[in-house]
Structure 1
């Protein structure tokens, strides 16, 4: 015997150790389509930074989320901000 107990059907599965990096990349991709909602790229960047510190296996996913989130946020600031100012929203 190996010394570990067998898994039972009701046992919870351990969480994926790359979950933050995966969410960061997913939100980074979604932020390109949903860039008008400025919260999505910010969350992608925050999750990416926290993932790079805590999840060494997901560093590339986290970097992708950070880059895509930053590009989307920069586009929002450069294009949507002045456009909203032009129509008198701010």
Structure 2
């Protein structure tokens, strides 16, 4: 991110995405909506924006790349993601 803001997760707002981000529950701020001034984001392409499958794409803005807290937010987000994605049971 070019300017300071709180970390946030971005999704298109489809029901499957809203359900998943509720389970991830990190970071605290969630933004739903499509469109970006530069063009489509990866999460806006098929299969993620297809309501006929369960695949979900999420974008997390962890902070400014040079800020020390950004790495902590990235790791915390990854750890919060493991349980709802059913990866934690595969690892253990």
Q: Which has the higher helix share?
A: 1
TM range (shorter): 0.3 to 0.5
Higher relative contact order (CA 8 A, sep 6+): 2
Q: Which has the higher strand share?
A: 2
Structure number, greater radius of gyration: 1
- The alignment's TM-score, normalised by the length of structure 1, stands at 0.34
- The alignment's TM-score, normalised by the length of structure 2, stands at 0.33
